[in-house]
Amino acid sequence: MSTTAAHCDGCGTPLAGADHARCRARRAATDPPRYCAACGRKLVVQVLPAGWTARCVRCGEAGVAAR
């Protein structure tokens, strides 16, 4: 599957034609993504003491972060 980002991983809306500065600021604070960057679907996110995992039901693994 292609992992080209067409959607914002913070709000799920298309990247083109919108200002996503607030989304980028929230992500910079180590908040996990909430939407798939490839298809815009809501992610299954699990937050753990050591980090987080995110998975798209359509595209698969979206990311893993450890502190």
Residue with tokens 């292609």: 2
CB-based contacts of 38: which residues, under 8 Å, 6+ apart? 1, 2, 3, 4, 5, 6, 7, 56, 59
Q: What is the pLDDT of residues 27-64, one digit of tens each?
A: 655 678 888 888 889 999 998 888 888 899 988 877 77
Determine the 3-state secondary structure of 40 from DSSP: coil
Total tally of structural domains belonging to the chain: 1
CA distance 46 to 55: 9
Higher-pLDDT residue of 43 and 6 is 43
